[in-house]
Each structure stands twice: as C-alpha cells, then as structure tokens.
A = this chain, B = another copy of it.
C-alpha cells in the first residue's frame, strides 16, 4: 500500500468502527470454514445403510462386514430392521443402540435416506461409498473402503458439516400442525409443488416476517447449499459451495418472468403460505419424500436446522501416495484437494465448448 493510500485510509476516524468488527468476522478471510474437523476417538458402533439390495451392493456389504469384524473386532455393526438384514449385522433399535459412524452404500439417495433415519436430531459422521457412479454426496469409491475406514479409526478423517433445514407446518389459523414432518430435517430441500393439480398455485413468501412477493407458479424450492445441485439446479438455481451457510429459494416454472432464484443467509427464516385464493394446493416434498399437502391458508416456515450431517471428506485419504499420483495425472493445482471443486469440475467439463466433446464421439459417416 502506498503511504498516500495508507493515510487516506487513516482519515476514516473511529466512529466508522463498524468495519473493524466486521473484519474479524467476514472480512479477515478465516483460514477454515466451520466445516472441517477431525475425529477424536475411534467409533464403537457402525450403522450400515443401503437402499437397494442389488448383487454389487450385497457383495460390497459382505466384504465390508468381513473386513470390519477382522480388523476392528470390538466394533458392533448395525443395520435397519428390514427383511434383508445382512449376515454379521445386528438389527438396529434406535433409542437403545448408539451409533458412532454411518456407512452408506449406493447413490446420493442413500445418504438422503441415512439423514432421514436421524431426521429429528443429531447425525453421527457419515462415510459414503459410491457403487461406481461419482456423486456430489459420494466421496469414496467402494473399492477404497479399507483405506477410508482406516482414516476414520486413526483419527485422520476430515468432515464437511452439511447444513440441514427444519420445517414447521401451520394451519391457516396459525396452529402448529401435529404432523410428523414437523420434526424432519432435510439435507437437500423442501419443495412445494402443485403436483397433479392442473392449476398454478399462489404462494406468499415472507422472509424474516416481511412479505417478499406472491409467487404464481408450479411451486417453490427452499434448498441448502448441498441441495443446490439437486432439484434447485434443474429449476434454474445457482450452484452453491456446500461450505457456505445459505438458503436458496428457487421458483418452479413461475408465471412472473422476473422471479429469479434468491440466496439468503442461513440465519433467515422463510415462510411460504398458500394463498387463500390459490387455484391449487401444494404437495410438500422433503428430500424427495412426499410428506403431505398444504391447502390454501396453510403455511410452512423453513429455518436452518441445528443438526447438520457431518460428512467425511475424500481428502481424508488424500495424503496417500496414490492420491498424489491421481492429482499428478489429473493436473490438479497445488493445495488441499476439495471434493466439491472436483465434482463441479467434472460437471462443467462435460459441456465445456460442446463441440470439442462431440469430437470424442465422432465417428466418420
């Protein structure tokens, strides 16, 4: 900084100390977001979560169970109480059996399902394996399960706390609905949609108690940063880095052409109220699960949940040699690997100047 500039900066006297306080929070560019942290003691109980029981999933679960029993013999392994409980796992009875680690096998929907198993309270750390597909929510390939578990048991795992949303439903006379979904916490989004009604619905939007606008549309999505790459993205919303504490409000096919997606601080409280003369009711979807239907006059208030989902990061195993090789091969820049950047990179590359990619597939006529 030139001395002239330093002086001109100095001119701004103490009274404008607002900027000072701000510097310590938003402005000082904090080294770490409140999103990465290490485990402190090895897990004593593991919950295995899967949705489908396809042959690859069955094989993977068996291999996983065998490995756990052999390597960490003191650990108890649980599974949801379903007919297909795998051999070597105990049936999980929620209030009785504490869970220290959740392991999911499947697609993004499997993590959403794991989240829903703890939908009304805190979630243990989640270690997610893909069965081959790459996912925004799936940091590990199933082939790496041994290394991934090792990083967890040796306290080397890092965590991304994925924010969740909590919803409270009200009837038109503002009585709280006695609805089980009042306690659900969601990772992706709460979506209101006209469903199979042929008509548009009319929804009043309030932010922190103030009326923002009246939306005439197919519906509205209140999404987390995590959910910004799910339904909200399809509806035209922006891609939000998961370490940003924010709410995204995205309209679904709005009549108003000027209704653009809105991004709010996670401290905001968003209320959606079905207009009294709305031509259609609005079905509620929470992370893709249908919950119930809001009639004209009914409303829902969405806020940040106190219970995020602690997701174990791919970087947990990234200091290994193989990772270094991977990075070299991919030409990744210096610095700690960020799973999300890699995922977005994959997403965006897939269309970077579509012409050059068409090339890959080009076959002479």
Contacts and interface: CB of A to CB of B under 8 A. Distances in A.
A73 interface: no
B238 A238 contact: yes
Interface in A254-271: 254-269
A323 interface: yes
Interface stretch (A50-58, A62-70, A79-87, A140-148): A140-148
Contacts of A236: 236
B19 A22 contact: no
A296 interface: no
B11 A37 contact: no
Contacts of A304: 26-27, 29
Interface in A187-238: 193, 195-196, 198-199, 206-218, 225, 228, 231, 233-238
Given A34-B21, A263-B239, A256 B27 contact: no
A21 to B, nearest CB: 6
A351 B256 contact: yes
Contacts of A13: 98, 100, 124
Contact of A335 (B210, B243, B262): B210
Contacts of A199: 288
B20 A256 contact: no
Contacts of A25: 19-20, 22-23, 34, 245
A210 B18 contact: no
A365 B234 contact: no
A338 B236 CA distance: 26
Given A21-B37, A237-B238, A196 B198 contact: no
A59 interface: no
B18 A26 contact: no
Contact of A41 (B15, B183, B310, B331): B15
B132 A362 contact: yes
A106 interface: no
B347 A354 contact: yes
A169 to B, nearest CB: 16
B39 A15 contact: yes
Given A8-B94, A133-B358, 10 more contacts: A12-B118, A16-B100, A26-B163, A27-B304, A134-B358, A195-B195, A196-B283, A199-B288, A234-B255, A351-B351
29 contacts: A5-B121, A9-B120, A9-B307, A10-B121, A11-B98, A15-B40, A16-B310, A19-B161, A22-B25, A22-B34, A26-B34, A27-B304, A27-B306, A33-B265, A210-B333, A210-B345, A211-B331, A211-B345, A212-B341, A212-B344, A215-B352, A239-B262, A240-B262, A241-B262, A244-B263, A244-B265, A246-B246, A257-B258, A318-B365
